[in-house]
Amino acid sequence: MPRILMTGAAGGIGTRLRQLLPPIYPDLLLSDLKAPADLAKNEKFMAAELSDLAQVEAICEGIDGILHFGGFAVEGPWDTILQSNIIGCYNLFEAARKKGVKRIVFASSNHAIGFYPRYHRIGPDVTPRPDSRYGVSKVFGEALGALYADKYGMTVTCLRIGNFGDVPLDQRRLSIWLKPEDMVQLCRIGLEHPDVHFEILYGASFNERSWWDNSRAYELGYRPEGRAEDFRDRALAEQAKLPPDPVGDFYQGGTFCSAEFANDNAKIW
Ligand code: 15L
Protein backbone atom coordinates (compact mmCIF):
# COMPACT_ATOMS: atom_id res chain seq x y z
CA MET A 1 0.00 0.00 0.00
CA PRO A 2 1.67 3.28 -1.05
CA ARG A 3 2.19 5.94 1.56
CA ILE A 4 0.99 9.24 0.10
CA LEU A 5 1.73 12.72 1.41
CA MET A 6 -0.70 15.52 0.61
CA THR A 7 0.57 19.05 1.29
CA GLY A 8 -1.88 21.93 1.45
CA ALA A 9 -4.33 19.67 3.25
CA ALA A 10 -6.15 22.62 4.84
CA GLY A 11 -6.60 24.48 1.51
CA GLY A 12 -9.51 24.36 -0.93
CA ILE A 13 -8.35 21.37 -2.97
CA GLY A 14 -6.85 19.56 0.02
CA THR A 15 -10.02 19.87 2.08
CA ARG A 16 -12.15 18.30 -0.65
CA LEU A 17 -9.62 15.56 -1.44
CA ARG A 18 -9.47 14.59 2.22
CA GLN A 19 -12.98 13.22 1.59
CA LEU A 20 -12.23 11.52 -1.73
CA LEU A 21 -8.74 10.03 -1.34
CA PRO A 22 -8.84 7.79 1.76
CA PRO A 23 -10.72 4.90 0.07
CA ILE A 24 -8.02 4.88 -2.65
CA TYR A 25 -4.99 5.70 -0.50
CA PRO A 26 -5.74 4.61 3.06
CA ASP A 27 -2.17 5.42 4.13
CA LEU A 28 -2.45 9.18 3.61
CA LEU A 29 -0.34 11.70 5.51
CA LEU A 30 -1.74 15.22 5.54
CA SER A 31 0.37 18.33 5.95
CA ASP A 32 -0.13 22.07 6.09
CA LEU A 33 1.02 24.96 8.24
CA LYS A 34 -1.69 24.11 10.78
CA ALA A 35 -3.98 21.12 11.18
CA PRO A 36 -7.43 21.49 9.59
CA ALA A 37 -9.95 22.44 12.28
CA ASP A 38 -12.08 19.37 11.55
CA LEU A 39 -9.24 16.83 11.52
CA ALA A 40 -10.73 13.41 12.28
CA LYS A 41 -9.17 10.89 14.66
CA ASN A 42 -8.33 8.48 11.85
CA GLU A 43 -6.52 11.17 9.78
CA LYS A 44 -2.73 11.47 10.09
CA PHE A 45 -1.34 15.00 10.12
CA MET A 46 2.12 16.59 10.42
CA ALA A 47 2.56 20.35 10.33
CA ALA A 48 5.30 21.77 8.12
CA GLU A 49 6.41 25.19 6.95
CA LEU A 50 7.39 24.71 3.30
CA SER A 51 10.11 27.37 3.44
CA ASP A 52 11.94 25.29 6.10
CA LEU A 53 13.80 22.42 4.41
CA ALA A 54 14.24 20.39 7.61
CA GLN A 55 10.50 20.44 8.27
CA VAL A 56 9.77 19.39 4.69
CA GLU A 57 12.29 16.54 4.93
CA ALA A 58 10.50 15.33 8.06
CA ILE A 59 7.15 15.01 6.26
CA CYS A 60 8.79 13.20 3.30
CA GLU A 61 10.19 10.39 5.46
CA GLY A 62 8.91 6.98 4.30
CA ILE A 63 6.67 8.50 1.59
CA ASP A 64 6.14 6.86 -1.84
CA GLY A 65 4.24 9.63 -3.61
CA ILE A 66 3.40 13.29 -3.00
CA LEU A 67 0.42 15.40 -3.97
CA HIS A 68 1.86 18.88 -3.65
CA PHE A 69 -1.02 21.30 -3.21
CA GLY A 70 0.73 23.42 -0.58
CA GLY A 71 1.76 27.02 -1.15
CA PHE A 72 0.00 30.31 -1.83
CA ALA A 73 -2.99 29.71 -4.12
CA VAL A 74 -3.60 33.15 -5.64
CA GLU A 75 -1.64 36.28 -6.55
CA GLY A 76 0.26 37.82 -3.64
CA PRO A 77 3.16 40.09 -2.73
CA TRP A 78 6.53 38.93 -4.03
CA ASP A 79 7.88 37.88 -0.66
CA THR A 80 4.85 35.67 0.02
CA ILE A 81 5.16 34.00 -3.38
CA LEU A 82 8.93 33.66 -2.94
CA GLN A 83 8.71 31.91 0.43
CA SER A 84 5.70 29.66 -0.23
CA ASN A 85 5.85 28.85 -3.92
CA ILE A 86 9.48 29.30 -4.98
CA ILE A 87 11.56 28.32 -1.94
CA GLY A 88 8.74 26.09 -0.66
CA CYS A 89 8.44 24.23 -3.96
CA TYR A 90 12.21 23.81 -4.23
CA ASN A 91 12.32 22.44 -0.69
CA LEU A 92 9.55 19.98 -1.50
CA PHE A 93 11.35 18.55 -4.55
CA GLU A 94 14.71 18.55 -2.81
CA ALA A 95 13.39 16.89 0.35
CA ALA A 96 11.60 14.31 -1.80
CA ARG A 97 14.82 13.54 -3.66
CA LYS A 98 16.80 13.17 -0.44
CA LYS A 99 14.17 10.87 1.06
CA GLY A 100 13.83 8.71 -2.06
CA VAL A 101 10.23 9.66 -2.92
CA LYS A 102 9.44 8.21 -6.35
CA ARG A 103 6.51 10.29 -7.60
CA ILE A 104 5.28 13.86 -7.31
CA VAL A 105 2.07 15.41 -8.57
CA PHE A 106 2.51 19.18 -8.60
CA ALA A 107 -0.49 21.53 -8.55
CA SER A 108 0.42 23.94 -11.32
CA SER A 109 -2.21 26.36 -12.55
CA ASN A 110 -3.86 27.83 -15.61
CA HIS A 111 -2.16 31.07 -14.52
CA ALA A 112 1.12 29.68 -15.91
CA ILE A 113 -0.43 30.31 -19.34
CA GLY A 114 -3.00 33.01 -18.44
CA PHE A 115 -1.87 35.53 -21.05
CA TYR A 116 -2.95 33.35 -23.97
CA PRO A 117 -6.11 34.81 -25.49
CA ARG A 118 -9.24 32.76 -25.15
CA TYR A 119 -9.49 32.18 -28.92
CA HIS A 120 -6.07 30.49 -28.88
CA ARG A 121 -6.28 26.73 -28.28
CA ILE A 122 -3.12 25.51 -26.58
CA GLY A 123 -1.54 22.24 -25.57
CA PRO A 124 0.84 21.54 -22.70
CA ASP A 125 3.93 22.36 -24.76
CA VAL A 126 3.42 26.08 -25.44
CA THR A 127 5.78 28.75 -24.12
CA PRO A 128 4.53 29.74 -20.67
CA ARG A 129 2.78 33.14 -20.57
CA PRO A 130 2.15 33.66 -16.84
CA ASP A 131 -0.32 36.34 -15.81
CA SER A 132 0.94 37.06 -12.27
CA ARG A 133 3.80 36.48 -9.84
CA TYR A 134 1.75 33.48 -8.76
CA GLY A 135 1.71 32.24 -12.38
CA VAL A 136 5.48 32.69 -12.59
CA SER A 137 5.85 30.53 -9.47
CA LYS A 138 3.84 27.78 -11.19
CA VAL A 139 6.11 27.94 -14.24
CA PHE A 140 9.04 27.62 -11.81
CA GLY A 141 7.42 24.55 -10.24
CA GLU A 142 6.91 22.95 -13.65
CA ALA A 143 10.57 23.61 -14.51
CA LEU A 144 11.71 22.10 -11.22
CA GLY A 145 9.53 19.08 -11.94
CA ALA A 146 11.21 18.59 -15.32
CA LEU A 147 14.66 18.90 -13.73
CA TYR A 148 13.94 16.38 -10.99
CA ALA A 149 12.41 13.96 -13.48
CA ASP A 150 15.24 14.19 -16.02
CA LYS A 151 18.19 14.49 -13.66
CA TYR A 152 17.10 12.37 -10.71
CA GLY A 153 14.66 9.94 -12.30
CA MET A 154 11.63 11.08 -10.35
CA THR A 155 8.18 10.59 -11.91
CA VAL A 156 6.59 14.04 -12.07
CA THR A 157 3.16 15.14 -13.22
CA CYS A 158 2.26 18.83 -13.29
CA LEU A 159 -1.46 19.56 -13.34
CA ARG A 160 -2.31 22.94 -14.82
CA ILE A 161 -5.48 23.23 -12.80
CA GLY A 162 -8.28 25.35 -14.17
CA ASN A 163 -10.91 26.02 -11.51
CA PHE A 164 -11.51 23.26 -9.00
CA GLY A 165 -14.98 23.04 -7.47
CA ASP A 166 -18.37 21.40 -7.48
CA VAL A 167 -19.75 23.71 -10.18
CA PRO A 168 -18.35 26.14 -12.79
CA LEU A 169 -18.73 29.58 -11.24
CA ASP A 170 -19.02 31.86 -14.29
CA GLN A 171 -18.48 32.03 -18.05
CA ARG A 172 -14.69 31.68 -17.84
CA ARG A 173 -15.01 28.66 -15.60
CA LEU A 174 -17.24 26.93 -18.19
CA SER A 175 -13.99 26.53 -20.14
CA ILE A 176 -11.69 25.57 -17.27
CA TRP A 177 -13.81 23.81 -14.66
CA LEU A 178 -12.38 20.76 -12.84
CA LYS A 179 -14.74 18.51 -10.93
CA PRO A 180 -13.13 17.12 -7.74
CA GLU A 181 -13.68 13.49 -8.81
CA ASP A 182 -11.86 14.23 -12.08
CA MET A 183 -8.99 15.73 -10.10
CA VAL A 184 -8.77 12.40 -8.26
CA GLN A 185 -8.42 10.61 -11.62
CA LEU A 186 -5.57 12.93 -12.62
CA CYS A 187 -3.83 12.45 -9.26
CA ARG A 188 -4.05 8.69 -9.72
CA ILE A 189 -2.47 8.93 -13.17
CA GLY A 190 0.42 10.86 -11.63
CA LEU A 191 0.83 8.50 -8.70
CA GLU A 192 0.29 5.19 -10.48
CA HIS A 193 0.57 5.24 -14.27
CA PRO A 194 3.59 3.21 -15.46
CA ASP A 195 4.21 5.37 -18.58
CA VAL A 196 4.66 8.70 -16.84
CA HIS A 197 8.13 10.26 -16.68
CA PHE A 198 7.39 13.99 -16.84
CA GLU A 199 4.00 15.27 -17.91
CA ILE A 200 2.11 18.53 -17.98
CA LEU A 201 -1.62 17.80 -18.05
CA TYR A 202 -4.53 20.21 -17.92
CA GLY A 203 -6.65 19.96 -14.80
CA ALA A 204 -9.99 20.33 -16.54
CA SER A 205 -13.14 18.23 -16.81
CA PHE A 206 -14.96 17.52 -20.08
CA ASN A 207 -15.66 21.14 -21.01
CA GLU A 208 -16.95 21.72 -24.50
CA ARG A 209 -15.67 25.34 -24.38
CA SER A 210 -12.19 24.30 -23.31
CA TRP A 211 -9.21 26.27 -24.61
CA TRP A 212 -6.84 23.38 -23.96
CA ASP A 213 -5.76 20.29 -25.83
CA ASN A 214 -5.63 17.69 -23.08
CA SER A 215 -5.23 14.67 -25.35
CA ARG A 216 -2.17 13.40 -23.45
CA ALA A 217 -4.31 13.03 -20.33
CA TYR A 218 -6.83 10.98 -22.33
CA GLU A 219 -4.00 8.82 -23.70
CA LEU A 220 -3.06 8.09 -20.10
CA GLY A 221 -6.60 6.91 -19.39
CA TYR A 222 -8.29 10.09 -18.15
CA ARG A 223 -12.08 9.88 -18.56
CA PRO A 224 -13.56 12.97 -16.90
CA GLU A 225 -17.13 12.72 -15.68
CA GLY A 226 -17.78 16.45 -15.17
CA ARG A 227 -19.35 18.38 -18.07
CA ALA A 228 -19.38 22.15 -17.59
CA GLU A 229 -22.24 22.74 -20.07
CA ASP A 230 -24.58 20.95 -17.67
CA PHE A 231 -24.25 24.10 -15.50
CA ARG A 232 -24.32 26.62 -18.34
CA ASP A 233 -27.40 28.65 -17.34
CA ARG A 234 -26.26 29.01 -13.76
CA ALA A 235 -22.73 30.04 -14.76
CA LEU A 236 -23.96 32.59 -17.31
CA ALA A 237 -26.40 34.05 -14.78
CA GLU A 238 -23.47 34.52 -12.37
CA GLN A 239 -21.40 36.05 -15.18
CA ALA A 240 -24.15 38.62 -15.83
CA LYS A 241 -23.67 39.94 -12.28
CA LEU A 242 -19.97 40.68 -12.89
CA PRO A 243 -18.69 44.03 -14.23
CA PRO A 244 -17.16 43.95 -17.73
CA ASP A 245 -13.39 43.46 -17.68
CA PRO A 246 -11.99 44.14 -21.18
CA VAL A 247 -8.56 42.71 -20.39
CA GLY A 248 -9.64 39.85 -18.14
CA ASP A 249 -12.44 38.79 -20.46
CA PHE A 250 -10.03 38.56 -23.41
CA TYR A 251 -7.39 36.35 -21.78
CA GLN A 252 -7.58 32.86 -20.36
CA GLY A 253 -6.34 34.01 -16.93
CA GLY A 254 -9.28 36.40 -16.38
CA THR A 255 -8.89 38.85 -13.49
CA PHE A 256 -5.33 37.66 -12.85
CA CYS A 257 -4.51 39.34 -16.19
CA SER A 258 -6.36 42.59 -15.54
CA ALA A 259 -5.02 43.03 -12.00
CA GLU A 260 -2.09 45.50 -12.03
CA PHE A 261 -2.38 45.64 -15.85
CA ALA A 262 -0.48 48.70 -17.08
CA ASN A 263 0.09 47.92 -20.74
CA ASP A 264 -1.20 50.46 -23.28
CA ASN A 265 -2.25 47.67 -25.55
CA ALA A 266 -5.01 45.66 -23.89
CA LYS A 267 -4.84 43.02 -26.62
CA ILE A 268 -1.18 42.19 -26.96
CA TRP A 269 -1.93 39.29 -29.32
C1 15L B 1 -6.01 29.27 -9.41
O2 15L B 1 -4.89 28.90 -9.70
C3 15L B 1 -6.37 29.59 -8.02
O4 15L B 1 -5.69 28.78 -7.09
C5 15L B 1 -7.86 29.53 -7.79
O6 15L B 1 -8.13 30.17 -6.55
C7 15L B 1 -8.64 30.20 -8.92
O8 15L B 1 -8.35 31.57 -8.95
C9 15L B 1 -8.27 29.54 -10.23
O10 15L B 1 -6.88 29.57 -10.42
C11 15L B 1 -8.97 30.20 -11.42
O12 15L B 1 -8.29 30.63 -12.35
O13 15L B 1 -10.20 30.25 -11.44
Distance 168 CA to ligand 1 centre (A): 12
Q: What is the pLDDT of residue 267?
A: 75
Q: What is the pTM of this model?
A: 0.98
Q: Look at residues 7, 9, 17 and name the one whose alpha carbon lies nearest to residue 63.
A: 7
- Of the listed 116, 134, 202, 222, which one is catalytic? 134
Closest atom of ligand 1 to CA, residue 114: 12
C-alpha 246/C-alpha 193 separation (Å) is 41
Q: What is the pLDDT of residues 133-166, one digit of tens each?
A: 999 999 999 999 999 999 999 999 999 999 999 9
DSSP per position, 179-231: -HHHHHHHHHHHHH-TT-SEEEEEE--B-TT--B--HHHHHTT-----BGGGG
61 C-alpha vs ligand 1 centroid, how far in Å? 30
Q: Whose CA is nearest to atom 8 of ligand 1?
A: 74
Sketch the domain layout of the chain as residue ranges.
Answer: 4-268
Task: Name all residues whose Cβ lies below 6 A of ligand 1.
Answer: 73-74, 109-111, 163
Percent of the chain predicted with pLDDT > 70: 100
Q: Which CATH number fits domain 4-268: 3.40.640.10, 1.10.150.120, 1.10.150.20, 3.40.50.720?
A: 3.40.50.720
pLDDT value of residue 120 = 96
Is the predicted pLDDT of residue 265 greater than 90, yes or no? no
